[in-house]
């Protein structure tokens, strides 16, 4: 069974600083996708970044980047130049091809002004 583990229930970062959120997953598949979703207090699930397992290059979206270590089954999210608007719950998620998402338990990120 696929499992996604986020070992940091809460994290905090100073505004303009960098923070890294951790995620590990367990799978026997070789073709899969990994995602980070952001959930602000509005509860909306917002896609932050996506990584295809068949790609070796780490995905980057502006201030957000990932460190994808396929052999270690690790998928961390780095937020650079943190902003107040980055404060939210962050969920790591795994998806086998053409299948549903499996979510981690989330990390609540606080940004300190």
Partner 1 sequence: DAGVIQSPRHEVTEMGQEVTLRCKPISGHDYLFWYRQTMMRGLELLIYFNNNVPIDDSGMPEDRFSAKMPNASFSTLKIQPSEPRDSAVYFCASSLSGRGPQETQYFGPGTRLLVL
Binding residues vs partner 1 (CB under 8 A)? 33, 35, 37, 42-47, 50, 52, 91, 95, 97-106
User: How does DSSP classify residue 59?
Assistant: P
Please state, as a whole number, how many other Cβ atoms lie within 10 Å of the Cβ of residue 102: 18
Give the shortest CB-106-to-partner 1 separation in angstroms: 7
Which lies closer to partner 1 via its Cβ, residue 13 or residue 109?
Answer: 109
Give the shortest CB-21-to-partner 1 separation in angstroms: 16
How large is the C-alpha radius of gyration of the chain? 13
Give the shortest CB-90-to-partner 1 separation in angstroms: 12
What residue has token string 């068949």?
A: 54
């Amino acid at each position: 069974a696929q499992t996604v583990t986020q070992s940091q229930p809460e994290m905090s970062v100073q505004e303009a600083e960098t923070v890294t959120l951790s995620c590990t997953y367990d799978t026997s598949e070789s073709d899969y996708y990994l995602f980070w979703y952001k959930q602000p207090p509005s509860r909306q699930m917002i896609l932050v970044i996506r990584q295809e397992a068949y790609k070796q290059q780490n995905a980057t979206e502006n201030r957000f980047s990932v460190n994808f270590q396929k052999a270690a089954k690790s998928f961390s999210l780095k937020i650079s130049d943190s902003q107040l608007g980055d404060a939210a719950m962050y969920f790591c998620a795994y998806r086998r091809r053409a299948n549903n998402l499996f979510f981690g338990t989330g990390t609540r990120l606080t940004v300190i002004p």
